[in-house]
Amino acid sequence: MLLTGSISDFIKEKKEPSSLKEFRSKAEKILSEITFPNSSLESWRKISLSNFKISEYTNVCPDSAVSFSDSPGAKISKLEELPAEKLSEVLKKAEASLSFYSKEWFPSFVFSNFTHAYYIQLSSSDGVPEIKINCEQGNIILPLLIIEAPSNAKVSFLERWISPSQKDLVLMSGVTVLITPSNGDFQYSSVENLGDSTFHFRATHSVQGNDSKFHASIASWGGYKGKSFYDSVVAGKGCWTRYAGLSPLKAREFQDTEVRILHSESHAQSSILYRTVVREKAHHVFTGNLHIPSHCKDVGAVQINNNLLLDRTARAESIPKLEVFAESVKCEHGATVGEIDEEQLFYLASRGINESEARKMIVEGFLAEVVREFPSESIREELGSMIESRMLGE
């Protein structure tokens, strides 16, 4: 699958330092050897891309499509504007992610053809710095973000993706590299609010050092078709890793979410809690991957996926995958798919609560545990309003 001419021209017009061009070239070489996703590939067997043609996405979103909140807790730089020595250091860290996704087409496509690229250095716990990626002007955006937390400090960051509903399809595909050094404490949040004409493909790659904490809270809704990888390489001893996510889908929305936690050191803990509510003809697929090699000891891992169907035509699939080769570990997994319990509705009706209000209480209660894990009250209130309007509105 060839690169569209307009994106190629867009990249050529950018005045980038030689090291950044070399990085693109490495990624392009990797991309040339990768098969485009199809149903024969395990991670892509649930999503059909028969109507996806990269040649249709030629209008690159402008620089203004990426904006930041004003926060003293984050220093934000375009990659091409970093000093040569710093850029070399940052790209070396990004190369680990490039190698990690060396068999995945969409992340490699972003690494070779990113349209917007930023290095974000977090420094303090003052508020929640935020980046907003908005695909309103143009039909393609390919952001590359490299976000680094400090040692010996607790920090938060919010990544927000937005697109409108419109007649023509748009493509949003990005890679986010998250670095938590030894003794760091990083709470990362992602909120996607996408229009029904958006193809969305994302890869989020987290790497942790010794005795670090990484917490990801994820909320994703809307879109036409999408596949998201959330990957954690737990590379240090004594690490704590947590993913909490929710997806309230409706209409004909399709979303495929895959969380992969790869332990490589002993004395670590990880957990996943992902909940979806699906109505009308929407379809969600969740895959949880856990890998613990034989040399790891004293590792605990929990993986839970719960799905609530509001209509008989809605679909939710749960695919747990555990590759545990070590002996001194404790692992748990569980998955549920079901409708609203009629006994719950009856109980609430017996307390004078009408069916509409009862359904609202059940849906909100089902997702509340995940909502509480987001770092600010304003985000939690936003999610509460969204859940009510999407899941209980007309």
Q: Are 387 and 364 in contact (CB under 8 A)?
A: yes
Q: Are 116 and 143 in contact (CB under 8 A)?
A: yes
Q: Are 163 and 170 in contact (CB under 8 A)?
A: yes
Query: How many CB atoms sit inside 10 A of residue 213's CB?
Result: 19
Q: Are 186 and 149 in contact (CB under 8 A)?
A: yes
Query: How many CB atoms sit inside 10 A of residue 143's CB?
Result: 23
Please give the C-alpha separations between residue 288 and each of 150, 256, 305, 306, 360, in angstroms, as whole numbers. Answer: 28, 11, 8, 12, 28
Amino acid at 368: A
Model pTM above 0.75: yes
pLDDT of res. 72:
85
Please give the helix or strand (H or E) that residue 369 lies within, else none. helix 355-371
Residue ranges of domains in the chain: 6-354
pLDDT confidence tier of residue 1, bands split at 50, 70 and 90 = very low
pLDDT at 357 over 90: no
In angstroms, the CA 32 to CA 53 distance is 17
In angstroms, the CA 336 to CA 273 distance is 12
pLDDT of res. 394:
59
pLDDT of res. 275:
97
Q: pLDDT tens digits for 6-41?
A: 777 777 777 899 999 999 999 999 999 999 999 999
